[in-house]
Each structure stands twice: as structure tokens, then as C-alpha cells.
Structure 1
Amino acid sequence: MAYSIQTVAQKTGLTISTLRFYDKAGLLPFVARDASGYRAFTDGDLALLHTIVCLKSTGMKIADIRRYIELVMAGPTTAEARRALLSGHREQVIAKQQEIAHSLAEIDYKLAMYASPDAETKVAHEWALASADKEKNGLPNPFTA
């Protein structure tokens, strides 16, 4: 079954302009055109598009996604190159996850501090430290009222 760009936009949650951008960026060379010149997506195309969206949402650069698609289009002999590309990207995603987990821990720490019974005392102490540090270093103190 062939799907129009409008149908694909509805199925994927992507906008038509995003799909056109992906096409112009060389990410959709596998999508055929019908006799009228309109893009005609197949179920297989939707599966590849799903992979493209996954890679994009995890921060892979358009050039690297294009390279991945080129490897897919080249056939099964490129499996090792695809594996290497995805393995490198996976490492970047894991590093980003760790960075986010660290940031989330800081947010949770602050939320717990603000929810504690002695929140005002803790916040006053934090404020005093930041204020004193500015004064000690001879810097303008935006913490003073």
C-alpha cells in the first residue's frame, strides 16, 4: 500500500514540512514518486522513517543519518559499517543520559531542600554562601538587596 505525504504526517506526527526537509536533506532517497510526481510512501518506507526519527530525536546529526541511509540503500554488505555508526551514536546517547541523570539528581536535591521543614534556613545558608563568595572575590554582588 502507498501512502501520501499527508497520511505519513498523520501516522508519524511529523509535519509535512519536516518530511519535505528530510527529503531535501537526502534522508528519504528510498521514497518513490507516483506518476504525478508525488511521494508515495510504503510500509517499508515508514519503518525506515521511524529509524530516522529515532536517530534524530537522540541527537544524531543529519549528515550522519544521511550516511546511515546511504549504507542501508547500499545493501546487506554494509551491515558492519552500519553497526559501527550506530555503536558510536549509542555511546553518545549513553553519555547524554548520564549527563541528564546528573542534572536530574541536582534538581531532586533542590526540590528536597525546598520541601524540607527547615527550607528557609537552608536557602538562607545557600544565599549567604553565594553572597560571601562574591564579596570575597571583589565581584559585584547581585545577591544583596
Structure 2
Amino acid sequence: MQTPGTTSLSIAEAAEHTGLTAHTLRYYERDGLLLESVERSTSGHRRYTERDLTWIQLITRLRSTGMPIRDVRRYAALVRAGDGNEAERLALLKAHRERVEVQLAEVTGHLRAIDVKIGIYEGKLENIG
């Protein structure tokens, strides 16, 4: 149940707040990516709390940085299980961080190559004008 003063958003409001679609939010819940079942109003409609939104923001970041769904699901299961598995959570996040750092280095290299080409064209245009 909601405690007094906590936010409760409809699925449409949660979708707007998170930048995800309602379909994606339902998928996250159905696929076991959320920490707990989303609360329901007396009419049966989903009601998202600040805690839900904070967690959705984290898993969105994990997905946006390339973490596979299976790893997000595993991480969520570990968090749901509670204390005692912090070493496994840490290992999962560190492994993901390493993959992100490799991707970031690759993208940085690509960006540098683009900057070189931009410099060439800017130089040519400066010489023309």
C-alpha cells in the first residue's frame, strides 16, 4: 500500500515520466525486470510509485548501455532476494561496466576520426573563403 505523501502514477503518466511506452512498462513487469509487482488501484489499473520509477530508470540505463535482458533479470532477482548476494551483484555490474568502457573507447575512436574529417573540410572551406 502507498504511504501518505508518496507519488502514484498511472501507466500513461509513468510512461511519460520515464520516456518508455506503456507496452515496454508492461513488458518489464511481465518479464521479471521490476523489483516487485506494480501496485493496482481499486479499478485494477497499474499505479507506479517513486521507487518503481527509480528502478525503471536504472534498468533503462542498464539496457541503454547494452546489458542483456537476461543479466538485467538476474540483477533484479538478486536485488529482490535481499542481503547476502552483494558480491554477485557487484560482479555483474563490474562485468557490465567493463563492456561499456570498451564500447566507449571504440565510440571515442570513431568520434576522433569524424573530428579529423570535420577539420579537413573546415580547413578547405576557410581556404576558399
Alignment TM-score > 0.5, same fold: yes
**Among 112, 116, 122, the residue aligned to 2:123:** 116
Greater gyration radius: 1
Contact 1:5–1:40 (Cα < 8 Å) also in 2: yes
Establish whether residue 46 from structure 1 lines up as the match of residue 40 from structure 2. Answer: no
**Alignment length (residue pairs):** 119
- Over aligned residues, Cα RMSD in angstroms? 1.9
Q: 1:117 to 1:42 in 2, by over 3 A?
A: closer
Contact 2:62–2:72 (Cα < 8 Å) also in 1: yes
Establish whether residue 70 from structure 1 lines up as the match of residue 77 from structure 2. Answer: yes
Shift of 1:68: 0.5
Alpha-carbon distance between aligned partners in 2 of 1:118 and 1:7, rounded to the nearest angstrom = 49
Alpha-carbon distance between aligned partners in 2 of 1:103 and 1:96, rounded to the nearest angstrom = 11
Give the AA of the match of 2:102. A
Q: Unmatched 5+ residue regions in structure 1?
A: 120-145
Can you list the C-alpha shifts for 1:11-38, whole angstroms capped at 9, x where unaligned?
A: 1111111111212222125133424433
**Identical aligned residues as a percent:** 41
Q: Who is 1:27 aligned against?
A: 33
Establish whether residue 79 from structure 1 lines up as the match of residue 86 from structure 2. Answer: yes
Q: Who is 2:23 aligned against?
A: 17
Q: Unmatched 5+ residue regions in structure 2?
A: 1-5
Q: Moved runs in structure 1, 4+ residues, more than 4 A?
A: none
After TM superposition, the score normalised by the length of structure 1 is: 0.74
